[in-house]
Chain A
Amino acid sequence: METENLIPVQQIVTHHKIEISFINSLYDFGLIEITTIEETRYVLKEQMSEIEKMIRLHYELDINLEGVETISHLLKRVEIMQDEMTILKNRLLIYESE
């Protein structure tokens, strides 16, 4: 199987100097997907910015995993709401200066 768009979990752990249990917990919490190919575990490249954000929340801001999970859900909602706000702002422009 193609591993071009995958990053080995071990590599993330080494580079960020974090415990593998953290990545396992993110998976257990359903926050990331892990693909196993020939006994090597990988995450999708496109998930990396999210994973790095969770690493920062946990290791730099001392937020526990439950907190990271809650924040991740809330940030997704914020993102949806920001998109909606952009649409509504654009709609409002129609009525301005009328």
Chain B
Amino acid sequence: MDFIDYYKILEIEKTASEPDIKKAYRRLARKLHPDLNPNDDAAKRKFQQINEANEVLSDPEKRKKYDKYGKDWKHADQFEQAGQQGTESKNYGGQQNYSSGFEGEDYSDFFESVFGRGAGGRSGSSNAKFRGQDFRSELKLELKDVYKDHQQTLNVNGKNIRLTIPAGVENGQTIKIGGHGAEGMNGGPKGDLYITFSIANHTTFKREGSSLYAQVDLDLYTAVLGGDVTVETFDGKVKLAIKPGTQSDVKVKLKGKGFPVYKKTNEFGDLIITWKVKVPTVLNEKEKELFEELAKLSKHGN
């Protein structure tokens, strides 16, 4: 746990007056408020920092304690006990910070070390929430998990929610589960749960929407003479006929062998296979002779 320089966070001098602090905080809040920076975790973290800095610096008592013990925060409690014998007021409430409208407005460990847990003054805000807050969560899945409808139980704030995730959900896609956010106040509606999917792909296929792409090696002889090749698709193997004279980088489209189309039952995209003709790199004497013969024939032919 590192010392947090609240003055630096609010970009002010240590001698800053109360109006200076208010002004600096307001300027940064307008820049970093999560409502103005959707899906920006870095801005959200900074917003929490400036809220915390404001919480301390705009409260004369807290600021005094921070200025006095800030760098020695680890020993602040011992100093307090030795020097004041518990005379300090524990009532730090009443400071009004901006709400972000999102979950996770935690204070840093540093803040809690200096001021104690629950010292934040945001409870009892004048802006009592009517509708419950929205929860946001990220769910990590594998690509193979979302090839079919996927059952998943999530634990959100101690409650288990059983979800059916439709096949074909996209990496980075966010879905809303209505009514699974925080409880509303005074009988108000619950907030919603937003789940963003992070889908890792450890298969040999590349995916774009419902299209799948794969590169398949083709030996020289089959490429030249044609033949049958068995290739892997996402749900099994298929046998494909290769035309004689198939070139490297030629693509074939296998209709309906791609990824499921999101929320369209039994509808699939295509699998696009790119042939990669492999030229032999090691030849035995006989093969070399035959290739030389071919080369001569080819020259005569031309």
Measuring CB to CB, which residues of chain A are less than 8 angstroms from any residue of chain B?
7, 11-12, 15-17, 45, 48-49, 52-53, 55-57, 59-63, 71, 75, 78-79, 82, 86-87, 89-91, 93-94
Contact = CB atoms under 8 A, between A and B. Distances in A.
Given A7-B189, A62-B26, A93-B201, A15 B206 contact: no
Given A12-B130, A86-B170, A75 B98 contact: no
A86 B39 CA distance: 12
Interface in B70-105: 98-99, 101
B208 to A, nearest CB: 5
Contact of A94 (B30, B33, B206): B206
Q: Which of B26, B35, B188 has the most CB of A within 10 A?
A: B35
Contact of B206 (A53, A55, A86, A93): A93
Contact of A86 (B131, B171, B192): B171
Nearest to A67: B30
18 contacts: A15-B130, A15-B185, A16-B127, A16-B128, A48-B130, A53-B101, A56-B35, A60-B33, A75-B35, A75-B36, A82-B39, A87-B170, A89-B171, A89-B172, A90-B170, A91-B208, A93-B206, A94-B213
Interface of B: 26, 29-30, 33, 35-36, 38-39, 98-99, 101, 126-131, 134, 170-173, 185-186, 188-189, 191-192, 201, 206-209, 213
Contacts, number: 89
A91 to B, nearest CB: 5
Main secondary structure of the interface of B (DSSP, over half): loop
Nearest to A59: B127
B168 to A, nearest CB: 13
A48 B189 contact: yes
A34 to B, nearest CB: 16
Contacts of B98: 56, 60-61
B107 to A, nearest CB: 19
Given A15-B186, A56-B98, A82-B38, A48 B29 contact: no
Contacts of B99: 56, 60
Given A59-B127, A60-B127, A62-B26, A71 B39 contact: no
Nearest to B101: A56
B189 to A, nearest CB: 5
Q: Which of A48, A57, A59, A63 has the most CB of B within 10 A?
A: A48
B271 to A, nearest CB: 13
A86 B173 contact: yes
B38 A78 contact: yes
A93 B207 CA distance: 8
A96 B124 CA distance: 51
